Amino acid sequence: MSTTPKMKKITTRTFLKKKQKGDRIVVLTAYDYYTAQILEKSGVDALLVGDSLNMVVYGHNNTLSAEMDKMLFHTRAVADAAARSLVIADMPFMSYQSSTETAIVNAGKFLKESGAEAVKLEGGIEMAPTIKRLIELGIPVMGHIGLTPQSVHRFGGARVQGRTEVGRNYVIESAHALDEAGCFSCVLELMTAPLAEKITKAVKMATIGIGAGTHCDGQVLVINDIIGMYDQITPRFVRRYANVAAEIEKAAKQFSEDVRSGSYPSDEESFLE
Ligand code: KIV
């Protein structure tokens, strides 16, 4: 008889159960197979293949130029490594906004071709009919409200949402619309903590905060931010747990020194006959 504990697959239903039980949900972004494998081992609940990869992997200033092909490609790599965590694919800018039909075709590709188990898309009340249709067709959807990075040019920068009554009302109405549309979860990005708390208490879907205070049902951060592999933008809500960039630089410097001094390769690292 095997003594290995049975691995419990995280599903969209797990998110809802965790919310009901008050167990906090842990989400990190992942973009490649080996990082996803490490995060799997760490026991996170979900891996989000965020369009943030356009910035933290590809070096662009924002997420707008992330293409479907790029997102599908990276989602496939992450899904191949994720046996336990829920894999959520971020729908890139203009892959779902122009029509519900476009959204269906592209969301379908994430589930059919890349192994994603849910998609995430940005937008409030105006996206609710499209989200409802995707869910009716069997595609689980994570919403994303508050500061939505694909609308960076409309926002004119990373402004904390919920500081005006009009802004607060829009975010609250959007949360209710996405909840009624059937989202299993919703990212609440860069909003005041009281607003995120109010939404979390009012909706059935699990809220996952990023810069939204402690009262959300879970938290998400970008993996490259928390391990110190991206420092172009350093938001106040990011907590850094490692400095991997410094370790890479140290290793590369030592390698250069060893090559230049002739100490690499040694006899043990060579084939002498
Ligand atoms: O693209 C992304 O990584 C995201 C998360 C930070 C929520 O949308």
Residue-by-residue DSSP string for 29-63 = E--SHHHHHHHHHHT-SEEEE-TTHHHHTT--SSS
Instruction: Give the ligand 1 atom nearest the CA of 122.
Output: 8
pLDDT bin (cut points 50, 70, 90) of residue 108 is very high
Where is mean pLDDT largest: 6-15, 45-54, 229-238? 45-54
pLDDT bin (cut points 50, 70, 90) of residue 1 is low
**Residue 156: per-residue pLDDT:** 87
Q: For the domain 12-242, what is the CATH superfamily, name and number?
A: Phosphoenolpyruvate-binding domains (3.20.20.60)
What value does the mean pLDDT take over residues 104-114? 98
Q: Indicate the helix (H) or strand (E) that contains 187.
A: strand 185-189
**Residue 40: per-residue pLDDT:** 97
pLDDT bin (cut points 50, 70, 90) of residue 7 is confident
**Residue 4: per-residue pLDDT:** 55
**Residue 157: per-residue pLDDT:** 83
Which residues does ligand 1 sit against, CB inside 6 Å? Answer: 29, 48, 50-52, 90, 187, 210, 220, 222
CA of 121 from ligand 1 middle (Å) equals 10
Return the active site residues. Answer: 189
Residue 5 predicted with pLDDT over 80: no
Pocket test for ligand 1, best of 56, 208, 219, 220 (most atoms within 8 A of CB): 220
Residues 89, 73, 141, CA angle at the centre, nearest 5°? 15
Model-level pTM? 0.96
Residue 43 predicted with pLDDT over 90: yes
CB 245 within 8 A of CB 229: yes
CA of 3 from ligand 1 middle (Å) equals 37
Residue 2 predicted with pLDDT over 80: no
**Number of Cβ within a 10 Å radius of residue 58:** 11
**Residue 270: per-residue pLDDT:** 98
CB 183 within 8 A of CB 143: yes
- Angle at which helix 33-42 crosses helix 68-81, to 10 degrees, equals 50
CA of 55 from ligand 1 middle (Å) equals 11
Structure tokens at 187: 């990212």
For CATH 3.20.20.60, list the domain ranges present in the chain.
12-242
Instruction: Give the ligand 1 atom nearest the CA of 90.
Output: 1
CB 226 within 8 A of CB 247: no
In the DSSP assignment, the letter for residue 151 is: G
**Residue 65: per-residue pLDDT:** 96
C-alpha–C-alpha distance, residues 25 and 11, integer Å: 12
Residue 182 predicted with pLDDT over 70: yes
**Residue 267: per-residue pLDDT:** 98
Kindly report the protein residue whose alpha carbon is nearest to atom 5 of ligand 1: 50
pLDDT bin (cut points 50, 70, 90) of residue 18 is very high
- Angle at which helix 128-136 crosses helix 100-113, to 10 degrees, equals 40
By percentage, how much of the chain surpasses pLDDT 70?
Answer: 98
Residue 3 predicted with pLDDT over 90: no
CB 115 within 8 A of CB 88: no
Instruction: Give the ligand 1 atom nearest the CA of 221.
Output: 6
